[in-house]
Amino acid sequence: MSCCALGTGWAILKEGTDISELEAKIYDLDFMVYYIWDGHISFSDEDEYFEEDTMEFLNTLNSYITEGSIVYSGEGDDCWRFVFDSETETWKREEGVIDYNFESYTDEQMIEELIRRGYEVSKIHPENLK
């Protein structure tokens, strides 16, 4: 898959990470700009997006990081991100939606999202409000 997109991301390095070893592994992956400092790595991807290249870069980081994500905005309203799962040491792709109000969501969609974020939700029916 290829498209025009801009991605910016970050990750927290594991304590004791061999920075020179990590840099040696990602140096040749020249499609991603990166900067390593004080236990962190930031990275960005511009112009043409190729998911295979992005995944190669992200997967190279897997054994060196504890958490991280990269957020992309593409053509039109396309947006997505990859979030690192430290338990499986894999990246999960999540699709995004740009929405400037809650009017386009059903109650069920908002409740589902709140539950996904760890909230306990109950609905009070209007006739019970006083």
Surface-to-core class of residue 27, CB atoms within 10 Å of its CB (0-12 exposed, 13-18 middle, 19+ buried): exposed
Q: Each residue of 65-124: pLDDT tens digit?
A: 999 999 888 777 788 899 999 999 999 999 887 666 777 778 888 888 888 888 988 877
The model's pLDDT over 31-81, given as tens digits with 9 standing for 90+, comes to 788 999 999 999 988 777 778 888 999 999 999 999 999 988 877 778 889
- What integer pLDDT is reported at residue 111 of this predicted model? 86
Task: Please tell me whether residue 107 adopts helix, strand or coil conformation.
Answer: helix
Averaged pLDDT of the chain: 86
Which residue, 35, 45, 33, 34, is CA-closest to 7? Answer: 45
